[in-house]
Structure 1
Amino acid sequence: MEVFLAVAASRDVAEDVRRSYYEDFKTQLAGLGLSLRPDSDVAIIVVVTGGAENEILASARQYNVILAWPHYNSLPSALEASAALRDSGRYAKVITMSGPDQRLDERVVRALRLIDLIKSGTPRFGLVGAPNPWLVSSNMTLVTVDQIPLEESLSGLDARSGLEDARRLAAGASSSEFSDVQLAPMAAYAKRLAELAKKRGWDGLTLGCWCFDREAVRRLGWTPCISLALLNQMGVPAACEGDLRALYSMYVLSRLSGGPAWMGNVNVAEGDLLVLTHDGAPPMMAEEYSIVGRMLTKAPAAIRAKFPSGAAATLLRVSADLKKALLLKAVTVEADRVEACNSQVGFKLLAGSAKDIYEAGLGNHLAFVLDDVYEEAKEYLTHIGARVVP
């Protein structure tokens, strides 16, 4: 990402001091993978002292991240200027540092991811096939959806193109019920879908899967659970079953986190305990994983993931019109297995409760990331006009 960098201070601060701050923060931004561009519409403004309000406004762009600290009246100046920027319709976010010697951290990266998501506008999603018949609350009205037939996505698929990826997947597993050759079509299909997404300009995709269609499983010999798990690991948000609401939720969380999201069925929601289950998960989200047969058909293949305990997590589901969103903050915990899908993850809810899940009334699948992006997600959802529950 390219940003504009400015240093703001009172008129009494000498030019060599300003230059010293500028060079220091320029180096730090480069360390975060950011480059400078004078005409960028995103500004990083370092507030050295109080009395810098007018300099902040003069340096501001449409989107502004303002860095301040408790010393020299830096923070009061930043707060005053940020209010003026918001009043003028511009975006402003103040990040407080302990002092000028504190190094830039993940908060700046998250703020810039949030800005990038806001700037992206309405996403364009791919719908491969049609939503599965049991999904009666998965549609969306405010996104662009490009639908293609399932058969088109599978036509001419060469399983050999996925063999190397299948080998790596099996090598990373604690055990596998299937050979590399049996897993190869799923890896090849992930690559095919990624190519389709790039070609058609999709920001993510969802697939009406054939996991419970015994005839389709018999004919194809495999299911796409692992394909979708791998797609999320490749940076393409991909939801199961044609669920567009889950896809939008995954898209938001993955963009804010910078890592893969996943989704699950709500099988337990009691007090502050939540258990989600599904037949897969991106392998990089798991502490360890095995490759097993799919639920019911036992066909190749599903990922049985063991998630790390004590990991921060953020969970989300949006409504069809994006007017309401269920947003939860949690930490992963060990939970008793239930008779359901292979991958199961327990959450202790820290913001929100099981009661909110029932009362929100937004359906089944919950998207999640193993990352604390709760505040950024809340800010984004508020920005687009959603009422956040709880």
Structure 2
Amino acid sequence: MMQRLIKDVNIVAIPLASKVHGEEYYRNVLSIFERILKALGVKFVDIVDSEEAVEGIDKRGIDAAFLIFLTGGTSKLGRLVAREFRDKPLVLIGHAFHNSSASMASTYSRLVSEGGYNLIPFVYRGGDSIIDLTRIYKAVRAAVALRKMRVVQLDADKLDGEGALFSEKIGASIVLVSRSELRKRLEEAKTKANRELKRLVERYDLGGVDKDKLLDPFTLYIVAEKVVEEFNAHAVTIDCFPFILEFKFTPCIALSMLLDEGIPAACEADYRALTLLALAQLLTGKPGWIGNFTDYDPVTRQLTFSHCTVATSVTEYSTLLPHFETGTPYAIEGRLRKQVYTIAAISPDYSVMAVAKAELLESGMLTGGRCRTQAILKIEETDPRPLTEKLVSNHHVLMVGDVRYELSVAAKVFGMKFIEY
């Protein structure tokens, strides 16, 4: 679903040049950028070398723009183009010759002073910077894609303030499935769920699990899968505890299975975590995992998260246990693979994204009195204050690998301050 979403993103490169530097020179430079960016799917407009050419740019349907400063003497053109795309993410690209980077820096500093832009400045130097430029492209594409995302909130009769703020800040749309509609769909889907129950059985170690209690949680997955298809949606969320109290089983299995299918799915109707789960899927190709902040040792810099909806595809072993708080069926205990992760969180007002690189030390159900999947991580902290003084949220999302750079770009697209713990 998410991969389908990014195909609709339209990113355009706008090359800027001064005729003083000679057309042969800057067309040769342009060919270098065309080889790199066209391979990624970026479209190019004609070279902009005059104010009249700025007016001729077709702005329809453009989601983000890469301004390429082929030569110096282009800062005014850069500002004029940027003003035409003030509401779009703008990547400003300079290179090391013919005062290109000087014009890029001049444009960037003046636009920052004007305010109201989401800017990513970059100097292309060949070599490894090709990789960095590709990472910028993928991060911009992912963040822009979220603006086109459609989210289904299950068991919701009305949109609350959290959902409304998410739509305002991220730009995604939300479809509500009411409790009465959900109940009806659950009843209608039971026959199909019973027939396809082996899809669940194959995913988990079910030793000690009461298999008679698996049908209802799996039926919710079948319903969610159908609703996503029906509404042409890309992600799912649900407010777990009201649902559990009403239906007497958890949505944990359904959310875990959706995540395994590449569909971001967030518990507790946490739209900030859903934003990060969607970024995790687009940036890494793997599901993220929501974790509750559970414990922190300021001496060892070891951090513990716990939660119950982990996707099996990021674990080396998974089983089912009664839900921690309610004892209802079922929560997932998963043992995450030992590797490097990025942890990320967004503040309640969407003004800050905080991240850290972390190494997994141990995971699984390590102790009682906590959610069933637990993870102890050693994190890299750049700020000497204890983590507890820097937290921007309870829920954090673990993402496979080190994607701090990509997240810093995504934060700029959303107009968030980016910090590293």
Deviation at 1:276, TM superposition (A): 1.0
Pairing of 1:175-194 with structure 2 (within 5 A): 175-177=205-207, 186-194=217-225
In structure 2, the residue matched to 1:78 is 104
Q: Which amino acid aligns with 1:293?
A: L
In 2, Cα distance between equivalents of 1:67 and 1:165: 52
Task: Single out whichever of 230-239 and 77-86 deviates more from structure 2.
Answer: 230-239
Aligned with 2:108: secondary structure?
helix
Q: Which amino acid aligns with 2:378?
A: K
In 1, Cα distance between equivalents of 2:41 and 2:165: 33
In 2, Cα distance between equivalents of 1:387 and 1:25: 28
In structure 1, the residue matched to 2:16 is 8
In 2, Cα distance between equivalents of 1:161 and 1:86: 56
In structure 2, the residue matched to 1:332 is 359
In 2, Cα distance between equivalents of 1:140 and 1:23: 45
Q: Which amino acid aligns with 2:72?
A: G
In 1, Cα distance between equivalents of 2:216 and 2:143: 36
- Aligned partner (choices 108, 133, 142) of residue 165 of structure 2: 142
Deviation at 1:185, TM superposition (A): 5.3
Task: Single out whichever of 336-345 and 378-387 deviates more from structure 2.
Answer: 378-387
* C-alpha contact 1:170 1:291 (8 A) present in aligned 2: no
| Alignment gaps of 5+ in structure 1 | 131-137
Q: Which amino acid aligns with 2:398?
A: F
Aligned with 2:125: secondary structure?
coil
Task: Single out whichever of 333-342 and 94-103 deviates more from structure 2.
Answer: 94-103
Q: Which amino acid aligns with 1:343?
A: T
Q: Which amino acid aligns with 2:111?
A: L
Q: CA RMSD in A?
A: 4.4
Matched, 1:293 2:321: yes
In 1, Cα distance between equivalents of 2:384 and 2:190: 43
Deviation at 1:64, TM superposition (A): 1.8
Matched, 1:56 2:78: yes
In structure 2, the residue matched to 1:134 is none
In structure 1, the residue matched to 2:297 is 270
Aligned with 2:345: secondary structure?
strand
| Identical residues among aligned pairs (%) | 20
Deviation at 1:373, TM superposition (A): 4.4
Task: Single out whichever of 105-114 and 178-187 deviates more from structure 2.
Answer: 178-187
| Residues 280, 357 of structure 1: alpha-carbon distance in 2 compared, 3 angstrom cutoff | same
| Residues 42, 195 of structure 1: alpha-carbon distance in 2 compared, 3 angstrom cutoff | same
Task: Single out whichever of 21-30 and 106-115 deviates more from structure 2.
Answer: 21-30
Aligned with 2:337: secondary structure?
coil
Matched, 1:25 2:33: yes
In 2, Cα distance between equivalents of 1:370 and 1:164: 34
- Aligned partner (choices 215, 231, 248) of residue 199 of structure 1: 231
Deviation at 1:25, TM superposition (A): 3.4
* C-alpha contact 1:278 1:344 (8 A) present in aligned 2: yes
In structure 2, the residue matched to 1:306 is 335
Pairing of 1:213-224 with structure 2 (within 5 A): 216-217=247-248, 223-224=250-251
Per the normalisation by structure 1, the TM-score is 0.73
| Residues 180, 2 of structure 1: alpha-carbon distance in 2 compared, 3 angstrom cutoff | farther
In 2, Cα distance between equivalents of 1:51 and 1:363: 45
In 1, Cα distance between equivalents of 2:128 and 2:27: 15
In structure 2, the residue matched to 1:111 is 140
* C-alpha contact 2:353 2:417 (8 A) present in aligned 1: no
Matched, 1:208 2:233: no
| Residues 309, 192 of structure 1: alpha-carbon distance in 2 compared, 3 angstrom cutoff | same
Aligned with 2:102: secondary structure?
helix
* C-alpha contact 1:129 1:208 (8 A) present in aligned 2: no
In 1, Cα distance between equivalents of 2:258 and 2:344: 19
Deviation at 1:72, TM superposition (A): 4.0
| Residues 30, 108 of structure 1: alpha-carbon distance in 2 compared, 3 angstrom cutoff | same
In 2, Cα distance between equivalents of 1:71 and 1:167: 61
Deviation at 1:7, TM superposition (A): 2.6
Aligned with 1:85: secondary structure?
helix
Deviation at 1:228, TM superposition (A): 0.9
Matched, 1:349 2:379: yes
| Residues 164, 327 of structure 1: alpha-carbon distance in 2 compared, 3 angstrom cutoff | farther
- How many residues align? The count is 373
| Residues 189, 295 of structure 1: alpha-carbon distance in 2 compared, 3 angstrom cutoff | closer
Per the normalisation by structure 2, the TM-score is 0.69
* C-alpha contact 2:91 2:119 (8 A) present in aligned 1: yes
